[in-house]
Amino acid sequence: MSEPVIAQKSPYQVKLTAGTYYWCACGESKRQPFCDGSHKAKGAFTPVRFDLNEDKVVWLCACKRTSNSPFCDGTHKKL
C-alpha cells in the first residue's frame, strides 16, 4: 500500500477533551478518524500522535492527504 485509503472526502468534526490521541494515517481503521491498529497488517503507515491541552472541537483529515496531519487542510477539495 503506497497511498493511504481515503476514509471519506470530508473531514471529521470531533469534540475532544484534553488528552493524547492517535490519528489513523493509513485509512484502514474501523474507528475513524482514530487508529485501531489496522496499519500493522500493512506495515506502511504509522498513526500520528497529537495532544490537546484543552477541550476543543477539531477537524481531522479523512482523506489522509493533508499536509498538516492530523488536521484537515482542505486537500480533500482537490480529490
34: β partners: 23
12: β partners: 60
User: What pLDDT score was predicted for residue 40?
Assistant: 83
pTM check: above 0.75: yes
79 vs 13, which has greater pLDDT?
A: 13
Q: Select from 24, 20, 30 the least CA-distant residue to 47.
A: 24
Domain ranges for the chain: 1-65
Task: Show the cell assigned to 66.
Answer: 493533508
The pLDDT tens digits for 2-56 are 889 999 999 999 999 999 999 999 999 999 999 999 888 777 799 999 999 999 9
User: Is pLDDT at 74 greater than 90 in this prediction?
Assistant: yes
Measured CA to CA, the distance from residue 24 to residue 46 in angstroms comes to: 8
Q: Select from 33, 22, 14 the least CA-distant residue to 5.
A: 33
